[in-house]
Structure 1
Amino acid sequence: MSPVHWLFGDQLGPHFTATAAGGTPRNTRWLLIESRAVFRRRRFHRAKAHLVLSAMRHRAADLGERARYVRADTYREGLAEAVGDAPVSVHHPTSRAALRLVSSLPQVTIHPARGFLVGHREFADWAARQEGRRLLQENLYEQTRRTHDILMEEGRPAGGRWNLDHDNREPPPRGRATLGAPPPYRPREDEIDEEVRRDLDRWEREEGIAFVGRDGPRVFPASRREALAALDQFISHRLAGFGAHEDAVLAGDPVMSHSLLSSSLNLGLLDPWECVRRAEDAWRAGQVPLNSAEGFIRQVCGWREYVWNLYWHLGEDYRHRNVLRHHAPVPEWFADLDADAVEARCLSTVLAQVRDTGWTHHIPRLMILGSHALQQGWSPAEVTDWFHRSFVDGYDWVMLPNVVGMSQYADGGLMTTKPYTSGGAYIHRMSDLCGGCRYRPTDRTGERACPYTVGYWSFLDRHRSRLELNPRMTPAVRGLDRIGNIEEVTTAHRERGSAAP
C-alpha cells in the first residue's frame, strides 16, 4: 500500500511533494483536507477564504489521481474519513495550533519544515552564538546571505553594504497619481473559482459562517502556474522600479512596484529560494539596480526568515506579551473594515484597500493601520487576530511577531529598538494621502487636528516613563516639554476614544 502524505493548505508547491532523503517516497499518495470549522471559528476576509480554498482545489486537480481531497467539518474527521487509523506523514506545520493537532495524532509522522531557507536547528545554533544579545534581523540576514551565497562577491556583500535601505526611502514623486510601474500579473478565474464562490455563498446562507470584506474577482495566484507567472512579471518588469519608493504610498496606486508575491510564498506555491535567485540573476544581468534587488531579497531571506524562526523560538507565551498594558478592544468599524465610517483620508483609503482586496503593502500596514492601533491602546492580541484574518497573506506565524513585536511594541523591544508610530508629518512626507483630507497633519488641537498627530503625542505622554529611557525615543519624548498644551492634546485624544477618526 502506498504511503499517504498530508498537505496543509499552505504547503501547496512542488517543494512539498518532492522526494528527499528521509522524506516522502516516490509512490506517495497526497491528502488535502478542507475544514469548514476553520472558517466557523473566526471571521476571515472572504477574499482570503476564497484564495485558500481555490489554491487547495487547484493543487488537488494538478496532482490528479494521486491526490485525495476531503471536505469535512474538522481535520480530525477528514483524516478519519480518508485513512482511518492508517499511518500518515506531514511536513512540520506553520502554526502552533496545527502542530499541536498533528502531534496529538499517534498515526502521524512529522517531517522537517519546508518552504524556508533557515531551519529551526540552524536558527537555534545562531541564536545561541548571540550570547545573550538581542536577536537582530540584520545579523541573521548577513549569515543567511553568507551561508547561501546570496548577493556576495568574494566573500563580501555586493556593493560593499549588507543593507541598502537608506537608498529605498524616497517619498512618492510629487504631482503624480501613480508611480508609473508596469501592471502586476493578475490571474483569470476559472470553474474552480466559480465552485468556491458558490460554496462560500452556501456556507453563509445555510451554515451561518460569516466573512468580512469583499470577494472577487480573485487577484492573487491560486496555482503554481499563476504564481510563476506573477514572479516572472515582477522580476522582468517591476523589480527595477521597486527599491527607491519601497516605503512610499500613493492613494491611486496601492501596488506601486511591490511584488505581490507574499500570498504565493505563504501558500507554499513559491519557494523563497527561487524568488531570491531570480532577483539576483536579474541584477547580475544588469536588468535591475542593486538597491531594488537587495531590497526585495531582504524581504524574502531577511525579514521573512527572521519572523518565521522567531515565531517558534520565542515560545507560546509571546502571543500574550503586552508590556504597554493596552487592553482596549478593536472597535467594530475597524473590525468590519468600514472605510466609509472614517474621515481621515489615509486610514479610510487603506481600510478600503484591505476591504476590497485583503492586501495593502507594508508601510500602510505598519504606519497607518498598526500605528493607529498602537496610539489608541488596542489589545495587541486582538490586533494580531485582526491582521491574521483580514489579509490574504496573513498566517499566525506571520502576524504574531510582526504585530506583537514590530507593530504594537508589546514585547518591549525584543524585536525592534523603538515603537513604530508617528504623527501626521511622516504620512504627509511619504504619501499623497493628506491632500484633500479634512484634517491637517500639523494641527494638534481643534476640529482639524490630525488623529495621528494627536495620537502620537498622546502616546508619548502616556508612556513617557518607559520611552524616555530608550535612546532612540529620547529626543521625541523631550519634544513633549515644548508642547505647552499637551494636556489639551491628550484630553482630546481620550475623548475621541475608539470612534472612527
Structure 2
Amino acid sequence: MSDPPLWLFADQLGPHVWDNDEFRDREIVLVESSRALGRKPFHRQKLHLTLSAVRHLADQLGDRVTHLRTATYREALTQVGRPVVVHHPTSFPALDMVRRFEKEGLVAEVRPTPTFALPQQDFDDWADGRSSFRMEDFYRSQRERFEVLMDGDQPVEGRWNFDHDNREPPPKGTDTLDVKGPWRPTEDEIDEQVRRDLDQAGHPTVGEDGPRWFAVTHDEATKALRHFVTHRLGTFGPYEDAILENDWAMAHSLLSVPLNMGVLHPLEAVHAAEDAYRSGDQPISSVEGFVRQILGWREYVWQLYWYFGRGYPKRNHLRARTPLPDWFRELDSDAVTARCLSSALEGVRDRGWVHHIPRLMVLGNHALQRGYRPAELNEWFATAFVDGYAWVMPPNVIGMSQHADGGRMATKPYSSGGAYIDRMSDHCTGCAFDPKVRVGEKACPFTAGYWQWVHRHRELLASNNRTARAVATMDRLSDLDAVLEQESAREAF
C-alpha cells in the first residue's frame, strides 16, 4: 500500500513542507473549505491571498495534488478515501479539529511543523521555570543555536543588539524614503478567478478588494526576498520604526505574508540577510534588526502562543471593558479626525497591512488608552490583517500591546502621548489636533488620552520603575481635572 497522502493547510505551503526526503513523492491534499473561509469577517484581501496561494501550489504540482472544494474539511477528507498525514496546525482550534479527525480515522499521523526554526520541545526546555520572559534572552539563544551573525561564541562586531542605530525618525523635507519600492507580484488568471469566485461567494469581509501586494508562492517569495536584501535592507534598519503617511511600506520587507503562509522558511530569510552582511553589501545594524524580527520576535511569538495556553487570549489584567467601536471594527477611516489613526485604519482597509509601529503605537496605543476589550481587539487584528493568524496576535496584542497578561510578555505597558507619534511620523503636521495640547478643541486624543490612562492605572504604573515617572509627572499637571473631564466625554477622535 502506498504511503498516506499529505494534507496541507493553507499556511503550510512551502517546499520545505512537501519537497523533502520524506514527502517528495507523496500525493498532496489541498482543501478549500467554504465554511472556514466564511466563518469570520476576514479582510477581503486575506481571503484572496489564501485562495491564490492554495491554487498556485495546486497548479504548480499538477497531478500530484488532490484539490478539493467542499463545505468542511471533514467532507474533503472523507472524499480522499484513506487516512492522511498532516503537520501540526498553527492554532488550538485547528489542532483540536485534527485530533478529532485522528480519532475518526481520517488522519493517520500528526507530524511536527517544519515551518519554524526552533522545535517546540526545545523552547519548552528553555522556558521551563521562568515566571517572566525576555525576548532578548531568547533571541541570543537563537543566534547561538543557529550560528547566525556569530564569530565563534561571540556576536559579530561584539554586539548583540543594534536597536540604538535603528530608531531614526523619518527624514525631514520628504514624504517618501529614498529607496527602491517593494517587489510586486504580477497577477495572473488564477488571481482573476479567485476574485470572481470571492465576488460570488458572499463571505462576510472587511476592507477593500485590491491588487495583490504580497508573494504567495515560494518562487515569488524568493524574488521578494532578493529584492529586499539587495535594494531595501540597508534603509530598513534606521527607519524601521518611522512612519511617512505617503510611504506605506517604507523600507519593510513585506515578507510577513509568505512567512506566515509557510511559503518561505524563516531561515531562508535570515541567511539571505546574513550573507549580505558577510559580503559587505549591507550594514550590520540593518541586518541585525531584520534578523531580530525573524529569528527573534517571530519565533518567540510562535512559541509563546503554545506555551501560554488556550486561556491566554481571554486575559484582561487591566479590566478593559469598552466594546470595540463600529468605526474601528469596520475600518472607517473617514470617521476619524486624527491623521495618525485615520491613516492607520486606511492602510488596513486598503491593504490589510500597516507595519509594526502603526499597529503598536497608533492602533494598539489608542485601544489601550480607551480601554477596548483585549479579546475583541485580538480577534480584530487576526481577521483584519492579511498576515494575521491565531498564533500571531495573542502575544502581540494581549501581551505586548494591551498588557492584558499583567506583564508576562512585556515589562511595561506600551502607551505614549502624541509626542512619540509626532517624533516618529509626519502625521501631526497639518492635523486638526496638536500633540502638545491637552485641553480644548485642538487637544490631541493621544496626549490627553495618555494622561487619562495614567490616572486610571496610577497604582499599577507607580509600582513599576519603568513607568513611575509618568505618575509623578501627571501629579504635577495643573489641568489634570480638565483633561479627565474632557476625555471622559470624548466621542470623536
User: Is the TM-score greater than 0.5?
Assistant: yes
Q: Specify which of 60, 63, 87 is matched with residue 91 of structure 1.
A: 87
Q: How far apart, CA to CA, are the structure 2 residues paired with 1:381 and 1:133? A: 23
Q: How far apart, CA to CA, are the structure 1 residues paired with 2:299 and 2:492? A: 35
Residue 218 of structure 1 is matched in structure 2 by 212
Residue 376 (structure 2) pairs with residue 375 (structure 1) = no
Residue 306 of structure 2 is matched in structure 1 by 312
Residues 23-422 of structure 1: pairs in structure 2 closer than 5 A? 24-83=22-81, 86-105=82-101, 106=103, 107=105, 108=107, 109-128=109-128, 131-204=129-202, 209-422=203-416
Cα contact 1:50–1:197 (8 A) shared by 2: yes
- Give the deviation of 1:133 after TM superposition: 4.5
- Give the deviation of 1:125 after TM superposition: 0.8
- Give the deviation of 1:285 after TM superposition: 0.5
- Give the deviation of 1:240 after TM superposition: 1.1
> Which consecutive residues of structure 1, in runs of 5 or more, have no partner in the other structure?
none
- Give the deviation of 1:413 after TM superposition: 0.6
Q: How far apart, CA to CA, are the structure 2 residues paired with 1:327 and 1:99? A: 30
Residue 9 of structure 2 is matched in structure 1 by 8
Structure 1 residues 185 and 26, CA, compared in 2 at 3 Å: closer, same or farther?
closer
Q: Deviations over 1:410-429 (max 9, x none)?
A: 00110101111110000000
User: Which range moves more in the overlay, 33-42 or 425-434?
Assistant: 33-42
Q: Deviations over 1:12-67 (max 9, x none)?
A: 100110335xxx44431000111111232210110111011101111111111011
Q: How far apart, CA to CA, are the structure 2 residues paired with 1:246 and 1:159? A: 21
Residue 433 of structure 1 is matched in structure 2 by 427
Residue 481 of structure 1 is matched in structure 2 by 475
Cα contact 1:333–1:500 (8 A) shared by 2: no
1:110 match: secondary structure = strand
- Give the deviation of 1:73 after TM superposition: 1.1
Q: How far apart, CA to CA, are the structure 1 residues paired with 2:408 and 2:131? A: 10
Q: How far apart, CA to CA, are the structure 2 residues paired with 1:26 and 1:104? A: 27
Q: How far apart, CA to CA, are the structure 2 residues paired with 1:240 and 1:25? A: 38
- Give the deviation of 1:217 after TM superposition: 1.1
Q: How far apart, CA to CA, are the structure 2 residues paired with 1:415 and 1:169? A: 22
Q: How far apart, CA to CA, are the structure 2 residues paired with 1:87 and 1:359? A: 38
Q: How far apart, CA to CA, are the structure 2 residues paired with 1:191 and 1:211? A: 23
Cα contact 2:18–2:24 (8 A) shared by 1: no
Cα contact 1:45–1:211 (8 A) shared by 2: yes
Cα contact 1:367–1:420 (8 A) shared by 2: yes
Cα contact 1:375–1:455 (8 A) shared by 2: yes
CA-atom RMSD in angstroms: 1.0
- Give the deviation of 1:160 after TM superposition: 1.1
1:305 match: secondary structure = helix
Q: Deviations over 1:227-264 (max 9, x none)?
A: 11111100111101111111111001111111100001
Percent of matched pairs sharing the same residue: 53
Q: How far apart, CA to CA, are the structure 1 residues paired with 2:289 and 2:148? A: 13
Structure 1 residues 251 and 25, CA, compared in 2 at 3 Å: closer, same or farther?
closer
Residue 268 of structure 2 aligns with an amino acid whose one-letter code is E
2:323 match: secondary structure = coil
Q: Deviations over 1:132-163 (max 9, x none)?
A: 35221111110111011000012101121111
Residue 465 (structure 2) pairs with residue 444 (structure 1) = no
Q: How far apart, CA to CA, are the structure 2 residues paired with 1:485 and 1:267? A: 50
> Which consecutive residues of structure 2, in runs of 5 or more, have no partner in the other structure?
none
Residue 309 of structure 1 aligns with an amino acid whose one-letter code is Q
Structure 1 residues 101 and 461, CA, compared in 2 at 3 Å: closer, same or farther?
same
- Give the deviation of 1:224 after TM superposition: 1.5
Q: How far apart, CA to CA, are the structure 2 residues paired with 1:461 and 1:363? A: 24
Residue 466 of structure 2 is matched in structure 1 by 472
User: Which range moves more in the overlay, 154-163 or 419-428?
Assistant: 154-163
- Give the deviation of 1:500 after TM superposition: 4.2
Q: How far apart, CA to CA, are the structure 1 residues paired with 2:231 and 2:446? A: 36
Q: Deviations over 1:82-130 (max 9, x none)?
A: 23xx2111010111111000011123210011111111110011112xx
Q: Which runs of 4+ in 1 moved over 6 A?
A: none
Residue 116 of structure 1 aligns with an amino acid whose one-letter code is F
Q: How far apart, CA to CA, are the structure 1 residues paired with 2:424 and 2:92? A: 37
Q: Deviations over 1:279-321 (max 9, x none)?
A: 0000010000000000000000000010000000011111111
2:13 match: secondary structure = coil
Cα contact 2:131–2:408 (8 A) shared by 1: no
- Give the deviation of 1:322 after TM superposition: 0.3
Q: How far apart, CA to CA, are the structure 2 residues paired with 1:87 and 1:211? A: 33
TM-score (norm 1): 0.96
Cα contact 2:28–2:66 (8 A) shared by 1: yes
1:68 match: secondary structure = strand
Q: How far apart, CA to CA, are the structure 1 residues paired with 2:411 and 2:29? A: 44
Aligned residue pairs: how many? 488
Residue 462 of structure 2 aligns with an amino acid whose one-letter code is E
Cα contact 2:14–2:264 (8 A) shared by 1: yes
